[in-house]
Structure 1
Amino acid sequence: MKLLNTELKNKVLKSMLQILNTKRTHIIEANKKDLDAFKKEDQALYERLVVDNKKVNEMIEAVNAVMLQDDPVGKELSNLTLKNKLNIVNTTAPFGTILIIYESRPDVTIEAAVLAFKANSKILLKGGKEALHSNLILEKCWHEALEENGLSKDWIKLLHLKREETQAFLKNPTETIDLIVPRGGERLINFVKTHATCAVLVSGRGNNFLYISEKADWSKAVNIIVNAKTDKISGCNALDKVLINKNLPEYEIKLKMLQEKLEKHSVDIVVDAKVSNILNTKETISDNDIWHEEFLALKLLIGEVNSLDEAIEVINTYSGKHSAVIITEQTNEAMTFMHNVDSAAVYHNASTRFTDGGQMGVGAELAISTDKLHHRGPLGLNQLVTNKYYVYGDGQVRV
């Protein structure tokens, strides 16, 4: 796609702000069609689907925040003149065409598109069928904003493909795709990795762990667990597993206190064999595969460990490499945990719910990357570019 100047990109986003506000009622009405058709057995997916006045306000805020950010394209990363007088300048550059595949979440149709467009990339949006009406009207809003400013609708395009058609498209795209971002559960991620023929940046899977050290402040631990588990069960930054050091003072009493607190919040507790000796009325896990599972529900697994090293080993073996927490009052222990746990975000005495672009100062995000290339963590505007070398010479040849 053509390289656009910052002024034109911001004009499109300014138009989009007005259109979203003007069409607010129509957007909510379209979303109601999706909600009415949705079978509510999956509460997390249903939560992600809802678009109300608050959600429209958040969409508007996301577009406005990106509009106010500096253009990420064309920033000089390095400038070096060699002995042979070649001037080599490394700058940020657009990806080209990005495909994002996501389930539910109509707000992704806004956040992903605004980021890609400001980063001068074309974006193909493959939303789930459960959000069809919501995504159609949001795409229409984008097209209106683009056309108002003399630009092609091709910058932001919704793909209307069934599963088999998506598989065929990934194997043999009808246009060049430079990056695919699957934003969803393990099944979606594996589907994309299996069939894609270009770079894939994995996002969306949580399965986050929290470790309570024997040096923990118990009050902090309980408050953080409750927040991380119950604040938003549909978030990929929600908590799924708690590991407790068996040397924690008053261990048995505190385990029962945690059980009581979680049950007041309607959390379904499952336990490993060691914890079942104390919380013997709770379901004991029978299959180790549950340690890999992201619950997306009011469900929490509690397990016992003997040491910090064991906790780190368990987390690195089973977690989704998204977010992990240590609760301890000893700084050195916290740093050992944070240096050695392999996650995009590691926390000391804080909730996993902060793994979010807006909460981390990044702003609107395309996704939370759990990959190590090319970026890990929130994919904000400044992370949605690649780089390009400009080499200036005056007849130099290599000898």
Structure 2
Amino acid sequence: MALSTPVTSVADICLAAKEAAGPLAALGSDVKDRALLAIADALVARTPEILEANARDLEAGRANDIGDALLDRLALDPARVAAIADGARAIAALPDPVGETIDGHRLPNGVDVRRVRVPFGVVAVVYEARPNVTIDAAALCLKSGNAIVLRGSSSAIHSNRVLAQIAAEAASAAGVPDGAISLVAGGGREELAELATQDGVVDLIFPRGGEGLKNALKAVATVPVIYAASGNCHVFVDASADLDAAEAIVLNAKVQRPGVCNALETLLVHADAAAEFLPRALRALDAAGVELRGDERVRAHAPAGVAVAEATEEDWATEYLALTLAIRVVDSAQEAIAHIGRYGSGHSEAIVTRDTASARAFQLLVDAACVYVNVSTRFTDGGEFGMGAEIGNSTQKLHARGPIGVRELTTFKYLVEGTGQVRA
């Protein structure tokens, strides 16, 4: 099987993936889908083995005091394993993007030109703490015809190893070439640098992690990189907002899972809604265990018994990934948009409003991968968008932006057909 072959170095693993990439790109949808369903079944069948490995990682994580947010990302339970398997099944049910005609036309000389989707070839995914990415990324790459080299962090080494082994074995048994799914152990920065410099072998790298990982790759990468970057996300409660909806959206965006990139980090409230909205919102957030940091006008509306610390300039620029929230009162939608433009990371931004003009201005002027009107930012997710799963959320503007699913894991080629035409 792919992971039990004798290759050990990063270069050898990448070369094995390169050898698998050609046959994999030519596989029919039936083989790829059969492999994905086999992976899902194997995950369910081997759940005890997965949880045993994950328990070892969690024990080490607590001993190393990695923090509640990372522990939450790291943790697996039967429901999460089942959800990962369901994601693989959902990806199997998606249309195969490979070979899809994007557009085409006939030239005046009778030559037909078509643009069709093709795999990248070898995709490397570098990620921190989240063992679910092992399967999500492998499944997305398999569906899109790409060989994948996985490089998880040391904090999830046991979980990643068993998950990758399960995926590789199930895929190989279903007819996928050996080497199509492989795992780099998760060693130090030297290993990362070697992976990021496999020119001509690795076609694209997706890092999924914090700013430290992003900066480490930026310093060394010679292979193209699409960054799944941080999320300093905002919700703006406009003057005309339905306050019941606003409270529900704010609580969901902040509290449901605070350690993820689409969670709310700064709440902006229109001055005309502040007196009515802030006391109830602050009370609800405080009851949910959120540490509150606000400007002077926010603190003036704090109800008795609810502590709101003074927000600093640093708070506006911080992705907390925890139950901490910065809050500011603004005088207009334009001021909210300007604040987001200055401090936002281009990930996910939301407005709660009943004013069509404010909603339209927010959609047009906020520069982010995902812009929401009357919806929680927590929906920025490949699964929620109907993609089955995602490798990450890109905040870049070239090639892929937002959730990266099977279509975003393809490039294209032009197929040109004629009847003997030559250029004059």
- TM > 0.5: yes
1:149 aligns with 2:177: no
Partner in structure 1 of residue 93 of structure 2: 68
Q: Retained in 2: the 8 A contact 1:93–1:386?
A: yes
Partner SS for 1:48: helix
Change (3 A) 1:150 1:261: closer
Change (3 A) 1:168 1:28: same
1:140 aligns with 2:150: no
Counterpart pick for 2:55 among 10, 16, 32: 32
CA deviation map 1:210-233 (0-9, x unaligned): 111111222221111111100011
**Counterparts of 1:167 and 1:155, CA distance in 2:** 19
- For normalisation by structure 2, the TM-score amounts to 0.89
Contiguous gaps of at least 5 residues in structure 1: none
Partner in structure 1 of residue 14 of structure 2: none
**Counterparts of 1:153 and 1:174, CA distance in 2:** 22
Counterpart pick for 2:140 among 115, 119, 136: 115
Would you say how many aligned residue pairs link Structure 1 and Structure 2?
396
Q: CA RMSD in A?
A: 1.8
CA deviation map 1:337-381 (0-9, x unaligned): 111111111111121111112222222222122111212121122
Change (3 A) 1:50 1:110: same
Partner in structure 2 of residue 285 of structure 1: 311
Q: Retained in 1: the 8 A contact 2:268–2:327?
A: yes
**Counterparts of 1:302 and 1:7, CA distance in 2:** 51
Counterpart pick for 1:256 among 262, 269, 279: 279
- State how 1:308-319 maps to structure 2 within 5 Å: 308-319=333-344
Partner in structure 2 of residue 23 of structure 1: 46
Q: Offset of 1:168 from its aligned partner?
A: 2.6
Q: Offset of 1:171 from its aligned partner?
A: 5.1
- State how 1:149-188 maps to structure 2 within 5 Å: 149-170=174-195, 172-173=197-198, 176-188=201-213
CA deviation map 1:148-190 (0-9, x unaligned): 1344331111112433223431553276121111111222222
Partner SS for 1:395: coil
Q: Retained in 2: the 8 A contact 1:183–1:367?
A: yes
**Counterparts of 1:281 and 1:118, CA distance in 2:** 50
**Counterparts of 1:41 and 1:256, CA distance in 2:** 34
Partner in structure 1 of residue 73 of structure 2: 48
**Counterparts of 2:197 and 2:247, CA distance in 1:** 50
**Counterparts of 2:363 and 2:58, CA distance in 1:** 41
Change (3 A) 1:168 1:379: closer
1:378 aligns with 2:399: no
**Counterparts of 1:260 and 1:69, CA distance in 2:** 43
Q: Offset of 1:30 from its aligned partner?
A: 0.8
**Counterparts of 2:103 and 2:247, CA distance in 1:** 47
**Counterparts of 1:41 and 1:85, CA distance in 2:** 63
Partner SS for 2:59: helix
CA deviation map 1:312-348 (0-9, x unaligned): 0110111111111111111221111111111111111
Partner in structure 2 of residue 347 of structure 1: 372
Partner in structure 1 of residue 104 of structure 2: 79
Q: Counterpart amino acid of 1:26?
A: E
**Counterparts of 1:262 and 1:271, CA distance in 2:** 13
Contiguous gaps of at least 5 residues in structure 2: 1-20
**Counterparts of 1:253 and 1:245, CA distance in 2:** 11
Q: Offset of 1:276 from its aligned partner?
A: 3.7
1:266 aligns with 2:289: yes
Q: Retained in 1: the 8 A contact 2:152–2:186?
A: no
Change (3 A) 1:175 1:28: farther
Q: Counterpart amino acid of 1:12?
A: A
Partner SS for 1:63: helix
Q: Retained in 1: the 8 A contact 2:31–2:176?
A: no
Partner SS for 1:397: coil
Q: Offset of 1:21 from its aligned partner?
A: 2.0
Identity of aligned residues (%): 37
Q: Offset of 1:289 from its aligned partner?
A: 3.1
CA deviation map 1:254-287 (0-9, x unaligned): 323322111100100011244344449522133x
Counterpart pick for 1:334 among 359, 363, 385: 359
**Counterparts of 1:329 and 1:216, CA distance in 2:** 5
Q: Retained in 2: the 8 A contact 1:170–1:195?
A: no
Worse overlay, 140-149 or 19-28: 140-149
